Structure 1
Amino acid sequence: MPATTEPAPLAELTRQDPELADLIAGEATRQAHSLQLIAAENFTSPAVLEALGSPLANKYAEGYPGARHHGGCELVDMAERIAIDRAKALFGAEHVNVQAHSGSSAVLAAYAVLLRPGDTVLAMGLPSGGHLTHGSPANFSGRWFDFVPYGVDPESGLIDYDQVRAVARAHRPKAIVCGSISYPRHIDYAAFRAIADDVGAYLIADAAHPIGLVAGGAAPNPVPYADIVCATTHKVLRGPRGGMLLCRAELADRVDRAVFPFTQGGAQMHTIAAKAVAFGEAAQPAFSGYAHQVVANARTLAGALAEEGFAVTTGGTDTHLVTVDPAPLGVLSQSARGRLASSGMVLDICALPHGDGRGLRLGTAAITTQGMREAETARIAALLSGVVRGDLDPRTTREEVRELAVRFPPYAVG
């Protein structure tokens, strides 16, 4: 990456359903003419897109390779085995389930393996960056289990592992979840493993965000430490939207049963094939360079925004994401996001453990896929800061943003 061929034109869709074809073409233009700074998004390769749009989408394949509930699965069995083998080799896992439809469904399956309704679970609190599946009352997790939150140090923004241990000893949870949607530092999986062992708890690593960095050798691997690792296959990993679970061999059958038939039906074989493509791409030497450049760009972004007056959570980043508070500039996050959207810079709002509780969450995975490096990232930070402060008009800035994005197209014509 960046990709060297353009996605296939929508000739048949344009003929049959021009309304939808226009919407898809419009979305392709939006992505190509703006900056995608959402930490959970990326651009897949054309090969991944081809697998997603392949005839494998037609195949019903409930069950697992060699044990399907439908006939005609010989070839899709091979595709799923390829995906499994590639993921096992990529992450050093004894077992991988690639059927999970999303990161959330992977977490649901992990809970189904290790927990029963009413069990106590320790996880990062939502205000500190925990995910909805880490105990939100609006989510199945908060309704079925008794979640106890741990947070971060209010001054540094870092996980206080002594505090986590103290909370774990006080509540004796059945499982501990480590992982976050907005924590920009590496997680100490060995420390969490020691805490889990201390209180006799299972350890679940929700690695949806860092798993792509793990694949590229730019982040620590949770697989040797966690009982189950839940992850997504998009984000930094640059595959299709979907999930997976990685675990030790002794949990393999329980994990598989928790995905199918307990929480899901038929596997999406076109998506599983696309996952296999992404795993194969991530095993190439070039992906390691990409993953490390993602981190370099994120550190450039964090440093530049700090110089511009933003409050940068934890003072920087180890990963692909940066969380900042624009309050020191006299602007609330919701207003800042609106201004930036008008200028063509697309990003998210996230919870913050300080200030008014809302911050901006940015990611560098997509712009790095486009080929941008530190110089372009620094320019993005300058444009972003100017728009948030009100020094730059969003409409005028939008044209410069468009010019920058067009210079680094996600699907360059080769």
Structure 2
Amino acid sequence: MHEPAISHLSAADPELAGLVEAEATRQYEKVRLIASENYVSTAVLEATGTVLTNKYSEGYAGKRYYEGQQVIDQVETLAIERAKALFGVDHANVQPYSGSPANLAVYMALANPGDTVMGMALPDGGHLTHGWGVSATGKWFNPVRYGVAKETGTVDLDQVRDLAREHRPKLIFCGGTAIPRTIDFPAFAEIAREVDAVLVADIAHIAGLVAGGAHPSPVGHAQITSTTTHKTLRGPRGAMVFSDAEYAKALDKAVFPGLQGGPHNHTTAAIAVSLGEAATPEFRVYAHAVVANAKALAAALLERGFDLVSGGTDNHLILVDLTSKGIGGKPAAQALDRAGIELNYNTVPFDPRKPFDPSGIRLGTAAITTRGLDVDLMPKVAEWMDGAVTAAGAGDEAAIERIAAEIRELLAGYPMPGYTA
């Protein structure tokens, strides 16, 4: 059952409570490999469900538009100070509701509509808010997009430099949503300096790895850093923006009143909890274990004939091109879900298929590492994945059901934060 217990919810709204319990059970019984998901601690869950949700707090600590902020100011200040200490930044804003608004705040603070901005193309691993056409950032600004080299599957820094020299963007974004390799922040910084651009590092996926010392930090290279607070950081669904001191005032004004009203104080509290957890030695062990599991799983998948974009991984994320397996990413992801393995279908660089029916799947090891699965189990996970993909191609639902049963049996031995068996 859900932990902490939801007895009051069960009494007031048994239908909704039943759905919550069903989701808790689903998460408990699945090998959760969605790269942007994790399990938060019970303490984070408790923080998100407190009376802090009752309070409206437009503005910032000491400068609010509503009275009764004596406690809320302390909560937000605690989150800010923990973020600054953990990431070693001059300034932190913990109010953005999610990653996309956090990135929008960067645009609002530092650019004007029509300005040229540069980011990684979405099919190559970038994010919608880095200037992709369907996003407001691709409609309101003049986007220039870089990608990966076809031979290596890694960021083509020569192309980045050439495009930056040609177009002289105001902002350069590095980072993205499907990048399995280490981001070369010093190289991006050198290019940004050459063309007098502001470098923005979007570390939404790798923030926990940065905090835990398992990935290099952008601090000292990028003037602005944006991140979500879930994913590898293992916090609630929220976001933060960090900056050098000179950009602090502009960013704060962009977040409020530029883009949003009152912050979600219960989320701010949960962010503070997760930042406190991320500052512990145990979290550093966790961050390195995430990477070790990803590398072990990537190696096991390669042994089974899977094609990995860039040939492997340096972080938590693995991008798989299923073309050689004779199955599209979408039917493979759906079959894997039925088999108890949760991930997402995803485009791969130079994908000839459409985004809603792409050639690849994306997976990550943050959540299964939280559950306690280690490198010794990664070959077994790869075996299950291979079996499910093969079964999907053959229409063998019985095999898929057998894998799901094996997974449920294994995971019964690995506790899940937020659930009591």
Q: Retained in 2: the 8 A contact 1:223–1:246?
A: no
- Aligned residue number for residue 133 of structure 2: 137
Q: 2:196 aligns with which of 172, 192, 200?
A: 200
Write the deviation string for residues 148-176 of structure 1: whole angstroms up to 9, x where unpaired: 11011101101121111011111111111
Q: Retained in 2: the 8 A contact 1:129–1:350?
A: no
Task: Determine whether 1:337 maps to 2:338.
Answer: no
- Aligned residue number for residue 400 of structure 1: 406
Task: Determine whether 1:375 maps to 2:381.
Answer: no
For residues 367 and 377 of structure 2, the distance between their equivalents in structure 1, rounded to whole angstroms, comes to 13
Identity of aligned residues (%): 50
Moved >4 Å (runs of 4+): none
Counterpart residue identity of residue 93, structure 1? V
For residues 363 and 35 of structure 1, the distance between their equivalents in structure 2, rounded to whole angstroms, comes to 11
Q: Retained in 2: the 8 A contact 1:218–1:291?
A: yes
Write the deviation string for residues 159-208 of structure 1: whole angstroms up to 9, x where unpaired: 12111101111111111110110010011111001101111111111111
Task: Determine whether 1:253 maps to 2:246.
Answer: no
Note the C-alpha offset of 1:6: 6.5
RMSD, matched Cα: 1.4
Q: Retained in 2: the 8 A contact 1:96–1:246?
A: yes
Report the more deviating stretch, 401-410 or 289-298.
401-410
For residues 325 and 346 of structure 2, the distance between their equivalents in structure 1, rounded to whole angstroms, comes to 18
- Aligned residue number for residue 71 of structure 2: 75
Counterpart residue identity of residue 290, structure 2? V
Note the C-alpha offset of 1:86: 0.4
What pairs up with 1:7-406 in 2 under 5 angstroms? 7-357=3-353, 358=358, 359-390=360-391, 393-406=399-412
Q: Retained in 1: the 8 A contact 2:3–2:420?
A: no
For residues 45 and 166 of structure 1, the distance between their equivalents in structure 2, rounded to whole angstroms, comes to 45
Write the deviation string for residues 353-404 of structure 1: whole angstroms up to 9, x where unpaired: 1353531100100000000101222211110011102287111111011112
Note the C-alpha offset of 1:413: 5.2
Counterpart residue identity of residue 37, structure 1? L
Note the C-alpha offset of 1:334: 1.2
Task: Summarize the Cα distance change of 1:360–1:134 in structure 2 as closer, same or farther, 3 Å threshold.
Answer: same
What residue ranges of structure 2 are gaps of 5+ in the alignment? none
User: Any idea what SS the aligned residue of 2:242 has?
Assistant: strand
User: Any idea what SS the aligned residue of 2:38 has?
Assistant: coil
Note the C-alpha offset of 1:335: 1.4
For residues 22 and 322 of structure 1, the distance between their equivalents in structure 2, rounded to whole angstroms, comes to 34
For residues 176 and 164 of structure 2, the distance between their equivalents in structure 1, rounded to whole angstroms, comes to 18
For residues 167 and 337 of structure 2, the distance between their equivalents in structure 1, rounded to whole angstroms, comes to 43
Counterpart residue identity of residue 277, structure 2? E
User: Any idea what SS the aligned residue of 1:372 has?
Assistant: coil
For residues 216 and 409 of structure 2, the distance between their equivalents in structure 1, rounded to whole angstroms, comes to 36
User: Any idea what SS the aligned residue of 1:137 has?
Assistant: coil
Task: Summarize the Cα distance change of 1:249–1:355 in structure 2 as closer, same or farther, 3 Å threshold.
Answer: closer
Note the C-alpha offset of 1:102: 0.3
For residues 79 and 62 of structure 2, the distance between their equivalents in structure 1, rounded to whole angstroms, comes to 15
Provide the aligned length of Structure 1 versus Structure 2: 410
Q: Retained in 2: the 8 A contact 1:6–1:46?
A: no
Task: Summarize the Cα distance change of 1:230–1:61 in structure 2 as closer, same or farther, 3 Å threshold.
Answer: same
Q: Retained in 1: the 8 A contact 2:2–2:21?
A: no
User: Any idea what SS the aligned residue of 2:412 has?
Assistant: helix
For residues 350 and 251 of structure 2, the distance between their equivalents in structure 1, rounded to whole angstroms, comes to 37
Counterpart residue identity of residue 264, structure 1? Q
User: Any idea what SS the aligned residue of 1:245 has?
Assistant: strand
Q: Retained in 2: the 8 A contact 1:240–1:275?
A: yes
Write the deviation string for residues 49-88 of structure 1: whole angstroms up to 9, x where unpaired: 1110011010111100011111111111001111000000
User: Any idea what SS the aligned residue of 2:262 has?
Assistant: coil
Note the C-alpha offset of 1:130: 1.1
For residues 300 and 85 of structure 1, the distance between their equivalents in structure 2, rounded to whole angstroms, comes to 36
Task: Determine whether 1:410 maps to 2:412.
Answer: no
Counterpart residue identity of residue 403, structure 1? E
Report the more deviating stretch, 374-383 or 277-286.
374-383
Q: Retained in 2: the 8 A contact 1:310–1:327?
A: no
For residues 88 and 9 of structure 1, the distance between their equivalents in structure 2, rounded to whole angstroms, comes to 33
Counterpart residue identity of residue 336, structure 1? A
For residues 324 and 356 of structure 1, the distance between their equivalents in structure 2, rounded to whole angstroms, comes to 15
User: Any idea what SS the aligned residue of 1:31 has?
Assistant: helix
For residues 356 and 12 of structure 1, the distance between their equivalents in structure 2, rounded to whole angstroms, comes to 51
Note the C-alpha offset of 1:136: 2.2
Q: Retained in 2: the 8 A contact 1:119–1:146?
A: yes
Q: Retained in 2: the 8 A contact 1:83–1:276?
A: yes
User: Any idea what SS the aligned residue of 1:407 has?
Assistant: coil
Counterpart residue identity of residue 376, structure 1? L
